[in-house]
Amino acid sequence: MLELIFTALLVASFVTLFVKNGRVAAVISLIASLLPVAAIIDWGNEFGLKIFSFGLEKSMDFSIAGITMHFSVTALAWFFGVMIFFLIPPIMLFSYSFFEKNRGFFPFMLFLITAVFGILLASDFLTLFFFWELMAASSFILVYMGRDRKAIISYLSFSVLSAVLILTGIALIYSQNGTLLFSNVAFSADEVTVSAIILMIAGFAVKSALMPLHAWAPFVYSKADEPFVAFLSGGLSKMGYYGMFLMLFALPGAKILQQYFDSTVATYILALIGAISAFIGTLLAFMEDDLRKLLAYSSIAQLGYIAVGFGIGSSLAITGALFQAFNHAFFKSVLFLAAGAVAYRTGKWKISELGGVAYKMPFTFMAALFSIFALAAIPITSGFAAKWLLYEAAVSNKYIFITPIMLIASVGAFLYSFRILYGVFLGENRHDDIKEAPLPMVAGMFLLVMPLIIFLIFPGYMLDMMHSALVNAGIGTVSHTNYVISTGMASYNTIAVVVGMMIAMIPAFLIYVLRKHRNIDFKDNFLAGEPYEIYGHISMHAANNFYKPIEDVLMPYLRKGATSFYMALYNAMGRVSKTVRRIYTGLSQDYAIYVAVFLLIIMGWLIW
């Protein structure tokens, strides 16, 4: 049965390659993308999501003369599968309207899904790496279709970097253990294993866009097709964290690191990197004018929180991290899709050129609004629960440096979310001639918003889903009922929170309904900053230059960031390359001299 799913996905991928019509290809892809979802639902019977069962096997060995690939589904893989595969059918639904013609999105997206399915099911390193590379290859082709030079170069080079780091790690583990099966690998606290773990985590961090390995993300997120970017940010970035979880907790790498360094320094560094990613990503996000780049930096920031959770490593922190990963998968997909829907209607990406879209596209606005609530962790969505767990974990572990950074980053998230809401959807109505996004797009976005609301009210369900993954990894779980999460510090009752939130909102709603409305000018000083003398007449409202003063203070420092470091490296390599090419003078006499000198040198080296 399991091989049938793989085959069906590959066949669908192959078929859609030859379908010119985007609608037909979308329908085929939508049906095909339901297969992994069905598999996940079936396996759910064992791991805590009981809906229905058709008796799909849980493991499979697939061998073609000589090589055996081992597949089996674990609780961890299942949880990530829920997170990732439930994203895809709505995205395909969205793509139904988004792509008039099939330009290659559908076949390679299906190929990508096959690869992700393979990664999650892999139970040995060869299979994991094989499918990891398939994922890199197919996602690269999707990036390639975006036709942007920087995106293509940065994505391919970082993918290859990630691949070789992971491969070196795998090779080291193999040389220590003599086996590639996860179940047989036994880590010991020696140099080789520790360096293997660190190499592999660095490799996985590339995919999850952790600083300073994030440099590809802003280019790729802002230039590829939106449905793909939604999946890239929502789904694929989680694969990096899947790998990290696998290395740190499932194969207990975190314990080995702790033993080897005799302290938690290694995981503390991971948490710190995560917090810094969250902080700097947020800063860069709220100064960005391109909506897609803003979302890209926001992704980097939100993904940073997951690394913080993994770095802290307590059961509370990891629960919060996985919860955050789950939420991020959904809310960031919706936001990218909403950006895609807005651009589909208006053709614009710049926040300063957009405005008032919500009056014409109310449903898109609603979906984006809920996702922003989740992003900013406002307790109308499940985003709150995740962040709350993370903060509590950080506080209870006395991470006095990381906690404030996270909190500042979280406040920063309000600053840029506000710009998306006001700059794109509200504010001055600049688009009278547009209409609401097509029904499939809206439906896709609303399907993706659903989990955010469900898990707000029932965070216990989420904790149930990750229960066996955590228990298998020996982490321990957070005690909870369906509505109440109780930790050592306090307990969090979602019903109380939701009711409290409602009550707090009633006066605001009443004021909104009862008071007389007046339209204020777009540049009313109610929302516009006070321009300094030196700027002349630059308007600083929410959509444009709103954070100019902060930008002026911070930009000189941020400009020295990772991206410019890579650019400097790139230019330096270019200079080295030009120097090296001087060796090839183009004169045959020089070359003949090289031959003679070479002969003498090796002769001398060998004889003496």
CB atoms within 10 A of CB 474: 11
Q: Which 531-590 residues touch another protein, going by CB under 8 A?
A: 570, 573-574, 576-578, 580-581, 583-586, 588, 590
Alpha-carbon distance of 522 to 518, in angstroms, equals 12
Q: Smallest distance from the beta carbon of 412 to another protein, in angstroms?
A: 32
Q: What is the 3-state secondary structure (H, E, C) of 567-605?
A: HHHHHHHHHHHHHHHCCCCCCHHHHHHHHHHHHHHHHHH
Stated length of the chain: 608
Nearer to another protein among residue 66 and residue 536 (C-beta): 66
Alpha-carbon distance of 242 to 121, in angstroms, equals 12
Q: Smallest distance from the beta carbon of 3 to another protein, in angstroms?
A: 15
| Terminal Cα distance for the chain, rounded | 65
Q: Smallest distance from the beta carbon of 104 to another protein, in angstroms?
A: 10
Instruction: Please choose, from the candidates 378, 291, 306, the residue with its C-alpha nearest in 3D space to the C-alpha of residue 343.
Output: 291
Angle, vertex CA 499, rays to CA 493 and CA 500, nearest 5: 85
What is the distance, to the nearest Å, from the Cα of residue 12 to the centroid of all Cα atoms in its chain?
26
451, burial (CB in 10 Å: exposed 0-12, middle 13-18, buried 19+):
buried
Q: Which two tokens stand for residue 515?
A: 């008071």
Selected from 401, 509, 532, 598, the binder of another protein by CB under 8 A is 598
Selected from 8, 38, 161, 378, the binder of another protein by CB under 8 A is 161
405 and 393 Cβ atoms separated by less than 8 Å: no
Instruction: Report if residue 185 touches another protein, rule: CB under 8 A.
Output: no
Instruction: Report if residue 147 touches another protein, rule: CB under 8 A.
Output: yes
Nearer to another protein among residue 213 and residue 415 (C-beta): 213
Q: Smallest distance from the beta carbon of 261 to another protein, in angstroms?
A: 20
Instruction: Report if residue 180 touches another protein, rule: CB under 8 A.
Output: yes
Alpha-carbon distance of 46 to 468, in angstroms, equals 9
Instruction: Report if residue 174 touches another protein, rule: CB under 8 A.
Output: yes
Strand partners, 544: 541
Selected from 51, 400, 534, 607, the binder of another protein by CB under 8 A is 607
526 and 519 Cβ atoms separated by less than 8 Å: no
Give the binding-site size for another protein (rule: CB under 8 A).
62
Alpha-carbon distance of 457 to 497, in angstroms, equals 9
CA distances to 29, 59, 333 from 121, rounded to whole Å, are: 21, 8, 23
**Stretch touching another protein by CB under 8 A, among 73-81, 168-176, 381-389, 427-435:** 168-176
The answer for 398, left when phi > 0, alpha when psi is -120 to 50, beta otherwise, is left
What is the distance, to the nearest Å, from the Cα of residue 373 to the centroid of all Cα atoms in its chain?
18
Selected from 34, 160, 443, 555, the binder of another protein by CB under 8 A is 160
Nearer to another protein among residue 62 and residue 535 (C-beta): 62
In single-letter form, the type of residue at position 416 comes to: Y
Selected from 51, 400, 506, 606, the binder of another protein by CB under 8 A is 606
Instruction: Report if residue 62 touches another protein, rule: CB under 8 A.
Output: no
Instruction: State the Rg of the chain over Cα.
Output: 26
Q: Smallest distance from the beta carbon of 564 to another protein, in angstroms?
A: 17
Instruction: Report if residue 175 touches another protein, rule: CB under 8 A.
Output: yes
Q: Which residue has the tokens 């499940």?
A: 382
Alpha-carbon distance of 171 to 128, in angstroms, equals 13
Instruction: Report if residue 27 touches another protein, rule: CB under 8 A.
Output: no
**Stretch touching another protein by CB under 8 A, among 172-180, 384-392, 442-450, 529-537:** 172-180
303 and 277 Cβ atoms separated by less than 8 Å: yes
CB atoms within 10 A of CB 338: 34
Selected from 4, 11, 31, 164, the binder of another protein by CB under 8 A is 164
Nearer to another protein among residue 89 and residue 253 (C-beta): 253
Nearer to another protein among residue 532 and residue 594 (C-beta): 594
Instruction: Report if residue 149 touches another protein, rule: CB under 8 A.
Output: yes
Q: Smallest distance from the beta carbon of 5 to another protein, in angstroms?
A: 18
Selected from 83, 113, 165, 206, the binder of another protein by CB under 8 A is 165
**Site track 205-244 with another protein (rule: CB under 8 A), x = hit:** ----------------------------------------
Instruction: Report if residue 513 touches another protein, rule: CB under 8 A.
Output: no
In single-letter form, the type of residue at position 402 comes to: I
Q: Smallest distance from the beta carbon of 468 to another protein, in angstroms?
A: 29
- Cis preceding linkage at 212, omega within 30: yes
308 and 401 Cβ atoms separated by less than 8 Å: no
Q: Smallest distance from the beta carbon of 29 to another protein, in angstroms?
A: 20
Q: Smallest distance from the beta carbon of 165 to another protein, in angstroms?
A: 7
Instruction: Report if residue 603 touches another protein, rule: CB under 8 A.
Output: yes
**Site track 95-134 with another protein (rule: CB under 8 A), x = hit:** -------------------------------x--xx--xx
Selected from 33, 123, 159, 333, the binder of another protein by CB under 8 A is 159
Alpha-carbon distance of 248 to 196, in angstroms, equals 12
Q: Smallest distance from the beta carbon of 422 to another protein, in angstroms?
A: 36
Instruction: Report if residue 153 touches another protein, rule: CB under 8 A.
Output: yes
- Applying CB under 8 A, which residues contact another protein? 64-68, 126, 129-130, 133-134, 136-137, 140-141, 144, 147, 149, 152-153, 155-157, 159-161, 163-165, 167-168, 171-172, 174-175, 180, 192, 570, 573-574, 576-578, 580-581, 583-586, 588, 590-592, 594-595, 597-599, 602-603, 605-607
